[in-house]
């Protein structure tokens, strides 16, 4: 158990039967009042992002999640299949739990499966992934008032905005936190 003011981004805790990940924390102290911690959290079971406020002194039960390296194999329609590289054990995770992450999976990537007490909560993606452009608009000359960007479709079906000099068939880096172009691979 730790004081709510000791939480840091990336910590995990258990409250009212839900598992939360701390995304951000803001500590606010005024002259006549106790310190208040505003914690932005993600519920790992539902995927919902909320903000909760707790007074200083509120105790929270921190937990450790298990992370295993697994390889993404294939899509069965309703589930995604992953395999442990050491034991060759396979698990299936519902597509409903991975709606964001599926945009970055193309096949045979190594990802971290996150679980707590044998309950699979989801997957942890790397910060950036390399994806190939399968469809891209042609560049329009003279369209350089602001940052000159055009639409592109990637091999996973994800649509991103890329600079004008990027062509169809190139491999680019895409950030997994906001699905934006980050550079050439």
Q: Where are the domains of the chain?
A: 2-63, 66-124, 128-184
Got the DSSP string for the chain?
A: -EEGGG--TT-EEEETTEEEEEEEEEEE--TTS--EEEEEEEETTT--EEEEEEETT-EEEEE--EEEEEEEEEE-SSEEEEEETTT--EEEEEGGGGTTGGGG--SS-EEEEEEETTEEEEEE--SEEEEEEEEEPPP-TT--SSS-EEEEEETTS-EEEEETT--TT-EEEEETTT--EEEE-
Fold of the domain built from segment(s) 66-124:
OB fold (Dihydrolipoamide Acetyltransferase, E2P) (2.40.50)
* 58-93: pLDDT as tens digits: 889 898 888 888 888 888 888 888 898 888 888 888
Class of domain 2-63: mainly beta
For all residues of the chain together, what is the average pLDDT? 84
* 154-178: pLDDT as tens digits: 888 888 888 888 888 888 898 888 8
């Amino acid at each position: 158990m730790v004081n709510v003011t000791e939480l840091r981004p990336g910590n995990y805790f258990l409250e009212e039967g839900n598992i939360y990940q701390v995304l951000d924390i803001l500590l606010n102290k005024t002259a006549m009042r106790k310190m208040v911690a505003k914690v932005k959290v993600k519920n790992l079971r539902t995927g919902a992002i909320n903000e909760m406020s707790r007074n200083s002194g509120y105790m929270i039960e921190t937990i450790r999640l298990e992370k295993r390296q697994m390889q993404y194999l294939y899509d069965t329609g309703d589930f995604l299949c992953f395999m442990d590289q050491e034991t060759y054990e396979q698990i299936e995770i519902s597509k409903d739990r991975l709606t964001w992450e599926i945009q970055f999976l193309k096949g045979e990537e190594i990802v971290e499966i996150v679980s707590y007490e044998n309950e699979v909560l989801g997957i942890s993606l790397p910060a950036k992934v390399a994806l190939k452009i399968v469809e891209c608009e042609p560049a329009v000359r003279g369209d350089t008032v602001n940052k000159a960007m055009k639409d592109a479709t990637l091999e996973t079906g994800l649509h991103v905005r890329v600079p004008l000099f990027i062509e169809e068939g190139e491999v680019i880096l895409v950030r997994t936190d906001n699905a934006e172009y980050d550079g050439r691979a």
